[in-house]
Each structure stands twice: as structure tokens, then as C-alpha cells.
Amino acid sequence: MENTVVIKCGGSVLDELSPAFFASVKTMREQGMNVVIVHGGGPEIGKMLKQLNVRSEFVNGLRKTTKEVLAVVEMVLSGKVNKQLVTMFKQHGLSAVGISGVDGGLLEAEPIDGIKLGYVGRVTAVRVDLLQTLLAANYIPVISPLGVGRSGQTYNINADTAAGAIAAAIGANQLAFVTNVPGLLQDGTLIGEATAETVEQLLKDGVITGGMIPKVKAALSALSDALPKVMIVSGKTPFYEQGTWHGTTIRKEVGAYL
């Protein structure tokens, strides 16, 4: 779908989303753009697991998901975080519908590695028609990244990769990762624009660190001929005004844009 942007909101930024974030989304809608939101919820999940004394561990940056962990992930992502976000959109005059990737089989998934990761999945298919129906009715779909297997098993899906899969499936021409920093920084200075090749070098050189690494890797893997640029922006300040993105734009290659 042309003129469609997928926005991924990380769990760590949800409590810090400013009125400026919602104003940016409103500007997009007023300009006739379709907006799809995918959200995480890692910090809230971690807090609830601790409260319920459910043991959890990370393997290669992904939360190993046992049956007990999956129950908490579902409760927090689809029950608490999703509805909080929908309410925030409502408070800012935007019509949103909160759905899980399980609803209507929106995100079909399969396990990545059942032995090492348990019920952690990868997206194998997206029910594009379901999203098209919501967008045609002028709603903003707000998606919690859970998927469902062919047998009906629910899977926990990394929100960054879910956003990339959804953007590719619906033919979005823009994908933005909303974080709690202005974008990619080098020596404290914002990198306004970079090619995928440059960003890969920054990863190798250790300039990009910590929680920004999985976001950047997901951004790089989402790039394609159909989706030639991906943005990393802040949820604390306006990230889109009058057709201009504020943050870091990662482009697929230099040649096509000279």
C-alpha cells in the first residue's frame, strides 16, 4: 500500500511518548498517510515476571519463552500495553484499534528454535486484508507482536522484526523505529542520513551499542527495493513535520538517490 508508514514503538519509550509524537502521527493522517503501529513491552514484561516470580532468561538478545513466560507476555503486551497505547491515541484525538497478531490470524508464525528459545517465533505470513480493512475504515491498527502457528500455538515475536515483516507484507513505503534518543549518534552528534553500508561499518566499529543494535539490525534487514529507507526517530520530540523526518534516515544504497 503506497503512502503507508509502519511505526514501531519500543517498550522502553512507551512511558515517554510526548504530545509531539502524537502530533506527528496526526500530521501524517491529515496528509492522507496510512499509519500502522507495532509496539514492544520488554520493561513491563520484565517487571511482571519479577512480581510473579517467573524465571526468565535471554538467549542471543531474545527472551526465552516458556509456557509460564508466554502467559505473562500475552497478558502484558495484549492486555496492558496495547490498551494503554490505544487510550493514548484516543486522548490525542486519533482513532486506533488495538489488536494482537493472534487476532484473525494477523501474524502467522513458526518457532525459531524450540529447544533454545521455547515459544519465540518468526513471522511467516501477514493477513494483509485484515490491516487493509482497518485502514480503509480510517483506524490506526495498534499491533502487539504475538503470532499464531498453524496448530493454534501462540508465539512471542520480537517487535522490531514483526514491524519489518508487516511493512514488507503491506508494501509500506516508510518504516520508523521510535526510540528514546534522537536517532543514531556519533560522538554525541546526530547522524541525519546514512547508507546501509555506512551503518554496518558503524556496527563493526562499535559506534552503535546496547539496545540500539537490535533496532539497527532490524532496520537494515527491512530495507528492500520496495522499502528503500528506514528511519530511527525520537518519541520525545516531533519526528515528522511538513513532510520532513527528524532523526536518522538509513537508505538502502547511495547510487539510487544521487
Q: Sketch out the chain's domains with CATH numbers.
A: 4-257 (3.40.1160.10)
Residue tagged active-site, from 10, 41, 42, 183: 42
pLDDT of residue 66: 96
Residue tagged active-site, from 10, 11, 121, 235: 11
Report the share of the chain in percent with pLDDT over 70. Answer: 98
Which of 120-124, 143-147, 170-174 is predicted least confidently? Answer: 170-174
Cα Rg of the chain, angstroms: 17
pLDDT of residue 83: 96
User: Whole-angstrom Cα distance, residue 189 to residue 203?
Assistant: 16
pLDDT of residue 254: 53
H helix or E strand, kind and range, residue 5 = strand 4-9
Which residues make Cβ contacts (< 8 Å) with residue 87, sequence separation at least 6?
none
Catalytic residue flag (residue 11): yes
Residue tagged active-site, from 10, 41, 101, 160: 160
pLDDT tens figures, 201-232: 999 998 888 778 878 888 888 888 888 889 99
Q: Which is more confident, 256 or 213?
A: 213
Average pLDDT over residues 145-173: 94
pLDDT bracket for residue 169 (50, 70, 90): very high
Decide: 222 and 164 in contact? Cβ < 8 Å. Answer: yes
- Does residue 20 carry a pLDDT above 80? yes
Residue tagged active-site, from 64, 215, 217, 252: 215
Report the share of the chain in percent with pLDDT over 90. Answer: 72
User: Whole-angstrom Cα distance, residue 39 to residue 56?
Assistant: 21
pLDDT of residue 223: 87
Which residues make Cβ contacts (< 8 Å) with residue 162, sequence separation at least 6?
8, 38, 101, 107, 123, 143, 145, 147
Which stretches of 202-246 are assigned E, i.e. beta strand? Answer: 229-234, 240-241, 244-245
- Does residue 14 carry a pLDDT above 80? yes
Q: What is the mean pLDDT of the chain?
A: 91
Cell of 99: 489488536
H helix or E strand, kind and range, residue 167 = helix 159-170
Cell of 79: 492486555
Catalytic residue flag (residue 160): yes
pLDDT of residue 256: 40
Catalytic residue flag (residue 192): no
Catalytic residue flag (residue 8): yes
* Phi, psi (rounded to 5 degrees) for 47: -65, -45
Cell of 234: 525520537
